[in-house]
Structure 1
Amino acid sequence: MGLRIRFLLAIVWFCLPVLTYAQQQVNILQVPGLGQYCKIDTAGISVLPSGRFITPAGKTIRITHDPFGLSISPDGKKAVTLHNGVLTLVDIATMNSVRVPSYDKKIASPLPNGSFLGVAFSPDSKTLYLSGGDDGAVIRYDAERFIKIDSISLNGKVGGKNYEDSFTSDLLYNPAKNELLVLDRGNFRMVRIDLATKKLTASVNVGRQPFGLALSPDKKVAFVANVGMYAYPLISGANPKNADSIMISRHPYGDNTKQSREGTVVEGRKIPGVGSPISPDAMSVFTIDLTTNKVTDKFKTGHQVGQMLEDAEVTGGASPNSIAVGSNYAYVTNATNDNITIIDYKNHRLLGDIPIKVDARIDKFRGLLPFGISLSKDEKTLYVALLGFNAVAVIDIPSRVTRGLIPTGWGASRVKLSANEDELYITSCRGYGAGPNGGAGFVAPPQGTYIGDIQLATFQKVAMPSAVQLAAYTKQVIDNTFASSTVNVATNNPLPVLPGSSATPIKYIVYITKENRTYDEVLGQMQNAKGDTTLARFGVHCEYTLPDATRVQFPNLNVSPNHIKVAGQFAFSDNYYCDSDASIHGHHWMMGVIPNEWVEANSDVSKTAKLFSSAPGRRFPGSTGSMDPEDYAETGGLWEALERKNIGFYNFGEANETAHVREDWEDTNTGAAHIVMVPMQKALFTRTSHNYAGFNTNIPDQFRVEQFKSEFTKMWITGKKKMPSLITMQVPNDHGADIRPKDGYPYRESYMADNDLAVGRILDFLSHTKYWKNMLVIVTEDDPQGGVDHIDAHRSILMLAGPYVKRGYVSHTHGNFGSILKTIYNILGVPYVNQYDVTASLLQDFFTDKPDFTPYTYVDSDTRIFDTKKAMARYSKNINWRKIKKSIDMDDEDREREDHYKQKGKKTSGTIVN
């Protein structure tokens, strides 16, 4: 069929929805920052990567990022927040703070190896007890003299049993016994420590990954919230000597299947099961009688896996995480379910859930993520930090009604009441966001420019609001989150305004994710866009600095010619942001799962894996490219949404990497070899390639292209099956790794050149298939972790390509992962899953109803920076696989931070015309 005929058919075809839907109007929700770029304005309105606004109530100061521990001194004068290896002391009256360690290094850290959640004051308001995290100890610290006083290890014998490899989690002070109650996430237990003798007096087994700890007012009952789903086993027979040879090349099973519950055999290896997701030890709340040190109840709070909610099956556990206790009832935040379970602990029963409702337009969707919780003295009001909604919810207990919302910083994590209940103290883990971390006029702050350093948290002091003030705060929170507009359902635009609301010629979507780059680094030279050419180190015609800091000129060096060509030939955004800071968050966000409190806290803690330890928690879940069962959303994300609507999809490379995989050159089946058995999402397990390498920078992206083309051709070109509606694929080598000149990677930028060529080749291949005339290709990054940008450290790459994408177009519409998912759901007619989907910006400006079927032709890489032949030569039959160096880890934050600062100071110049 000729181009002209196809064009005429497309025009006729586009008239059909207009006739069908007439001029029906509907309301759609979008973020308020639709036309704004990210910015930080602490005196006004800040714009987040999501396009939401931040306007914290009360008085706010900025502190170190990710404060997941918070305690108020008994005298009410001080607050202490605990971060990973850092604590911040706040004078509540003046709102002045002291960071330990100080940036000038005059005050040393008592936590050089990190910490996790637990912090408490002694009765004198001068001494602190701190979680030692990975060290498995409790640190006693003088908060006035800034001196470490003591360290008490959780390891050793208790009750005749020897415990090793402890990992300190939450803790609290029990004045009735002058003792500490401490959670050990390494050994899945609660420990009691007598402070007079510093002896461990009891060890009580609890559920998996104990996270939250609380005490009844009479000091007789302890409560433990367990966020772990499974205790992850090793392959049967694995030991330190055979570990390298016994691994399997993929995940062993889908979650909540017969194989995952009972075990199976994979590649000749006997694979233990992980049991049932509704086990009493999984995502539960234990009550402990402190007079007997016995567990009295194991409560399964919230909605349970397998339960049906309307037309969707629950696939993720409730994630109970924090507890507030009154004289008769305990209240538990279930992050995944957006509700609070009431426990009648004296009568050993559950009294149901309090759903947190914020606005009727979005209440059916999840995304509030309740985390920290406090109870008023009269036990009639709950204050709940909403991690996903940037607010504190005020809940009336008798009526079970949400009375209002108080605006906070980004990612509200903890909330406490003053003794007289005149004030609220709130921490938010991401505060106002990151802001720029490079470019003209940028001045580096004392904490540095790496995204994990520059993005400060907030501590907030808010006067207890009156009913009138609370109503105003509530309106502000809603206005900060979304706005409603009326649009016509009937549209000629190929992107419907709602899922399936109008016909579209786009039938196939290819969703490509890359790793760790910002906008300015790659596209900063593009014309008619907000770029900083001095930061475009991965652009074209760049000057280049070698690792030894010797400046060498490469005339007309082209690092990313295909990115520049694709952006110029099709469409790209200069106002697109990753919601994520790092890959752990990114691979959740981009697949439609909002990172919960476990992902946030667990990703920002120093931890050491000890696979053969007797402490099961040392085989911790800690996903990078995959989602662990601890992370799953209530009814899933993208995969589950597609499965529910019987929409075909297939995955190349996403979700292959868990925390403890090997990533060598030989692991080309999926990029990873597994020894710790972690399930994959059930919906994805049978729809993912076992012959495509996910994250593994030892494997060239050129190898991935060959894997992809081979499997695509076999299944959907020469095979009898039709291409599925959605393909997801990972092309990760722009992440970068150590230089390997013999392998064709003489510079770190060589990895970007490899990635650039792969993107070009994939688009070239797809645009020459029979599916191209109905295809949309989406190219983005999972996170901006390693890069720099003059607008915001979260700003990243979004390029769209296809016949129905505008040519030579720059979008200035504020976009994020939610915008991509809304695009996919609207085109494929799939209902939204969470609040970020339904409120995301609608990217209709990218599209045109006048198709251009011209295919894409890739540009060869510059061999001075990347040699394809060298990179692929190592895949000869004579290669000695076992002597090849292991790849770097996807989310090694210390390494990413180091590399970020090594790259600092590189300059490029030149402007690219679209």
Structure 2
Amino acid sequence: MKRYQAHYRLFLVLIAFCACRSSRVYQSSVSDANDYHSSYDDTTLTVDNASVLMPYNRFIDPAGTVIRFGKTSLENHSLDCVLTPDEKTLIVEDRYGLAFIEVRSNQLLYHLDYTDNASYKSLMSTYSGLKVWQSEDGPHIFWGAANPSNKTSFVMDAVWDGKKATIKEAIPFKALAPAPMSLPNDIAIRKEGNETFLFVVLNGNSQLAKLNLKDKKTVWTTASGMAPFGLALTQTKAYVSNWAGAVPVDASKETAGIPYAKVYVDPRTGATSSGTVSVIDLATGKVETEIEVGLHPNSIIASKDGRYVYVANGNSDNISIINTAANKVVNTVSVKLNEASPFIGDSPNALALSPNESILYVSNGMNNAVAVMKLSEGGSKALIEGFIPTEAYPAGLVATDKTLFVANLEGEGARASTTKTYGSHQQEATISIIPVPDKNALKSYSTRVEKSNLLFRTKLSQLTPRKNTGPKPVPERIGEPSVFKHVLYVIKENKTYDQVMGDVAAGNGIKSLCIYGDSITPNQHRLVKDFLLLDNYYVAGKSSAEGHSWTDAAIVTDYVEKNVRAWFRSYPHVLADALVYNKAGFIWNNALDHGKTVRIYGEACTPTWKAGLGWKEFYDLYKEGKPISFTNHSTISRVEPVLSPAYPCFEGQNFNDQIRADAFIKELHDFEKMPGDQLPQLMVMALPADHTAGMREGFPTPRAMVADNDLALGRILEALTKSRFWDSTVVFVTEDDSQSGWDHVSAYRTTAFIISPYSRLQKTVHTNYNQTSMVRTIEQILGLPPMNVVDATALPMFDCFTGTFNKTPYAFIKNNIPLNEMNKPASTLKGKAKRYTELSGSAELAKIDSGNDDLLNRILWFDAMGNKPYPKKMTLSKNRREPDND
């Protein structure tokens, strides 16, 4: 609390400056690029700033009191919350158990950890759906949980005695093939005569189940729509919100895959195109009707009298209000922070009614705020009265007459460090406790929310281009000319700034954390000397499953946020899950929509190849100059025609990045032979070998894979800079996330490079930029409008370019590390080397980003640094602790 009081006083200074700058945006024209300026741009993400900054153009300026909890060695997320019947205790569902908070004192009383019970230690809570039922032996808490490892799913039943909670029972729910997990989510409990019944939404099975709580026998199970999420009961009906809408039956409509099924999708973007609510008879389980609502419907609640049902539509930024007598939508209410904005992405995802039901509170995830909606006539008329600031991504809500309780899914992000060395999976869970504001306080809060969301930049992004404006590297307005005709956007994998650039004296790095320095990444080090060094650049997410949505779409959806860290349904790092995509889609369809030519090299796709071939076999074929056979696939229909068939997509680490570099360079030479300028205007490239495979047998050492990646980037750049297209080409390079190591500034800080004839600044750029800034800059250059509320508020990377033209070609530097420097077999090793090699080859780490992240970080550290002390105290469980003192 003291920290937030201090933060707020200092934040007022920042806001005063920001307000001074932003007041200019209401003029009819922009005089120069500085009109985009905010105080956000002048600082790092370090937590000691006057206000907490998120790595996607947002301040965190929460109202009320914030309570933090959870083990700092874990990535914690608050998902939902509920009050006990006496309203003395708030119960918070987080990813690793339940927190019990005394309302009177705002103190954490107890945390129920799955890890404290051997039977439940690998469970994670599902998306939301926490209920309390008062029984003779005290309040029982019910919620959904699943084990991603062994694919079991349960409704948990715990008893709270006022001091301690004990799990009484875990009620199993079997998966319905092809689903590997049933995934219980939202829950309702209802008394019928002398019996008590439990209603459970099974998200994996696409079902609603009714059980007798006394004997746990199933009364009925019925099919819902696709991927159901929320549940609301009236006297006779159940209303179930379906993330992916109706079951596909119309063969004329395009469908695509989500885990376990096919769903209706928008052919333009690949995103789900249907959202529905299933209406089910409580007595018989019969589906009576299905109501079309907005996209990605999630939270759903009913009025006390059952006359109205309210549905949050996460991908449509609105609320559907259903009259249950007619089972029709009678009102659809936008909850956008700026109702006039054309941009999507406010992400409503949780609902709560005030006790008198005159107010509907809506968690707007990407706004970091709760919308306050005034209802009349049950919602037939509704008006947004204002917004209340919270921490990052508000989710679960509880409202009383005097207090609003908010479970903040992202909290303050990955900042849970006591040593000032940050890793991306160390994060506290948080809950906001906010007095219900009066009219004046709500008005003040709304202003804070607008400023915290840098709303003034959305107005700048909509200014029309001026006539007779000369070309610039980055135009000040979208639609004004750029000197560039072609953009190559390169997405690498999983490194922090300090891991790679910590040894560069010109930047804000720490050499002791640099494990892939100049000798391993000579090309990247040459680039920052010849062009520019970005030492204040950030990824927006904490893993590849988030990272590729941020790099390609400049936003993550509610589906991604609800799955984060657990990844129950999919790990969508290659974007092979239609539920992941937002309504506006990705940068490639934005370009295609506006008449630009596009080529995709390895992004949003997976390869298949002959069984038995691995890294060594592919590398040998490459060295011998023999053909390498594979086939690329994408679940997004619009990607398929622009996908390079010769460039291997990313799934595992079987392909050397030199194969990828060769494929791109060959296509580049082919374009040079074509008449005119037929090089695609937007090229999106995955270059993933720097992810590494740890110390797994059959793969190169981590430093060899990082060196491979560095060499491939250097070769690609040399080819481009020597091509006839270089005069009008710019290259942007980013990591998708930063989860494989440590950084002393922020867990989100990573490397980024900008290479063009107008980028030979030979200096360090300290401006706070992030992945959405890079996407916005690409859009600005190509004349594309922003896709959503996040890139609409991003700062274009103006100061990474100069007006001076210098087309000196780049000459790549050969690798110092043999690319086929292979990991040693475990049988030849002993001690920690043997242990880490065995763990690298375990099922736990077999898939991309699977298993314990701290373990992989330790493996990479040991491989590079030997027995030099690890940057953090041991955070592994006891059975994984090593015998040394690191």
Say yes or no: does 1:572 pair with 2:582.
no
Map Cα deviations across residues 740-799 of structure 1 (whole Å, 9 max, x no partner).
6776x2x32221111111111111111111111111000100111112111110011111
Q: Quick check: 1:709–1:765 contact (8 Å CA) kept in 2?
A: yes
CA distance in 2, matches of 1:88, 1:642: 46
CA distance in 1, matches of 2:601, 2:816: 27
Secondary structure, aligned partner of 2:300: strand
One-letter amino acid of the counterpart of residue 136, structure 1: S
Deviation at 1:859, TM superposition (A): 0.9
Deviation at 1:593, TM superposition (A): 4.9
Q: Quick check: 1:115–1:606 contact (8 Å CA) kept in 2?
A: no
Say yes or no: does 1:751 pair with 2:705.
yes
Deviation at 1:365, TM superposition (A): 0.8
Equivalent residue number for residue 761 of structure 1: 715
Say yes or no: does 1:684 pair with 2:639.
yes
Among candidates 436, 442, 445, match of residue 464 of structure 1: 436
The range that moved more, 574-583 or 172-181, is 172-181
For 1:342-741, list aligned pairs within 5 A.
Answer: 342-359=321-338, 363-398=341-376, 399-418=381-400, 421-435=401-415, 442=419, 450-452=423-425, 454-482=426-454, 484=456, 490=469, 493-501=472-480, 503-540=481-518, 558-605=519-566, 607=568, 620-657=569-606, 665=614, 680-695=635-650, 696-717=652-673, 722-739=678-695
Equivalent residue number for residue 56 of structure 1: 62
Among candidates 103, 113, 122, match of residue 123 of structure 2: 113
Say yes or no: does 1:184 pair with 2:202.
yes
Deviation at 1:359, TM superposition (A): 2.8
CA distance in 1, matches of 2:33, 2:272: 45
Equivalent residue number for residue 850 of structure 1: 804
Deviation at 1:385, TM superposition (A): 0.6
Distance change in 2, residues 1:430/1:132 (3 Å): closer
Secondary structure, aligned partner of 1:336: coil
Distance change in 2, residues 1:602/1:262 (3 Å): closer
Say yes or no: does 1:228 pair with 2:207.
no
CA distance in 2, matches of 1:901, 1:365: 42
Among candidates 813, 819, 825, match of residue 866 of structure 1: 819
Q: Quick check: 2:240–2:279 contact (8 Å CA) kept in 1?
A: yes
Deviation at 1:569, TM superposition (A): 0.9
Structure 1 unaligned residues grouped into runs of 5+: 1-20, 234-255, 264-271, 303-317, 541-557, 608-619, 872-883, 910-914
Q: Quick check: 1:121–1:128 contact (8 Å CA) kept in 2?
A: yes
Q: Quick check: 1:701–1:733 contact (8 Å CA) kept in 2?
A: yes
Q: Quick check: 1:587–1:627 contact (8 Å CA) kept in 2?
A: no
Aligned pairs, how many? 778
TM-score (norm 2): 0.80
Distance change in 2, residues 1:275/1:113 (3 Å): closer
Q: Quick check: 1:142–1:148 contact (8 Å CA) kept in 2?
A: yes
CA distance in 1, matches of 2:748, 2:409: 16
Distance change in 2, residues 1:631/1:162 (3 Å): closer
CA distance in 2, matches of 1:27, 1:229: 44
One-letter amino acid of the counterpart of residue 413, structure 2: G
Map Cα deviations across residues 403-462 of structure 1 (whole Å, 9 max, x no partner).
1111111111121113xx21000011111122386xxx9267xxxx6422x122310100
Equivalent residue number for residue 742 of structure 2: 788
Distance change in 2, residues 1:191/1:483 (3 Å): closer
Map Cα deviations across residues 646-672 of structure 1 (whole Å, 9 max, x no partner).
111110000014999999638989998
Deviation at 1:898, TM superposition (A): 1.5
CA distance in 1, matches of 2:365, 2:629: 33
Deviation at 1:138, TM superposition (A): 1.7
For 1:2-21, list aligned pairs within 5 A.
Answer: none
One-letter amino acid of the counterpart of residue 500, structure 1: G
CA distance in 1, matches of 2:179, 2:743: 47
CA distance in 2, matches of 1:869, 1:178: 61
Distance change in 2, residues 1:121/1:110 (3 Å): farther
One-letter amino acid of the counterpart of residue 794, structure 1: Y
CA distance in 1, matches of 2:436, 2:589: 42
CA distance in 1, matches of 2:119, 2:409: 20
One-letter amino acid of the counterpart of residue 710, structure 1: K
Secondary structure, aligned partner of 2:552: coil
CA distance in 1, matches of 2:665, 2:769: 30
Deviation at 1:148, TM superposition (A): 2.3
Q: Quick check: 2:256–2:635 contact (8 Å CA) kept in 1?
A: no
Q: Quick check: 2:209–2:222 contact (8 Å CA) kept in 1?
A: yes
Deviation at 1:88, TM superposition (A): 2.0
Q: Quick check: 1:366–1:834 contact (8 Å CA) kept in 2?
A: yes
Q: Quick check: 1:654–1:729 contact (8 Å CA) kept in 2?
A: yes
| Greater relative contact order structure (CA < 8 Å, 6+ sep) | 1
One-letter amino acid of the counterpart of residue 664, structure 2: F
Say yes or no: does 1:321 pair with 2:298.
yes
**CA root-mean-square deviation:** 3.8
Distance change in 2, residues 1:716/1:179 (3 Å): farther
CA distance in 2, matches of 1:197, 1:22: 70
Q: Quick check: 2:244–2:263 contact (8 Å CA) kept in 1?
A: no
Distance change in 2, residues 1:39/1:450 (3 Å): closer
Say yes or no: does 1:287 pair with 2:279.
yes
Distance change in 2, residues 1:31/1:599 (3 Å): farther
CA distance in 2, matches of 1:671, 1:99: 57
For 1:140-289, list aligned pairs within 5 A.
Answer: 140-144=157-161, 145-155=164-174, 166-176=182-192, 177-216=195-234, 218=235, 220-228=236-244, 260-261=254-255, 274=262, 276-277=264-265, 283-289=275-281
Q: Quick check: 1:786–1:900 contact (8 Å CA) kept in 2?
A: yes
Say yes or no: does 1:133 pair with 2:146.
yes
Equivalent residue number for residue 810 of structure 1: 764
CA distance in 1, matches of 2:659, 2:711: 11
Equivalent residue number for residue 300 of structure 1: 292
Q: Quick check: 1:49–1:577 contact (8 Å CA) kept in 2?
A: yes
The range that moved more, 475-484 or 492-501, is 492-501
Map Cα deviations across residues 657-702 of structure 1 (whole Å, 9 max, x no partner).
499999963898999879xxx9633332211112211223121111
Deviation at 1:213, TM superposition (A): 1.6
Secondary structure, aligned partner of 1:332: strand
CA distance in 1, matches of 2:448, 2:611: 48
CA distance in 2, matches of 1:566, 1:636: 32
CA distance in 2, matches of 1:186, 1:69: 19
Map Cα deviations across residues 259-298 of structure 1 (whole Å, 9 max, x no partner).
95599xxxxxxxx994644999953111212133222221
CA distance in 1, matches of 2:409, 2:69: 9
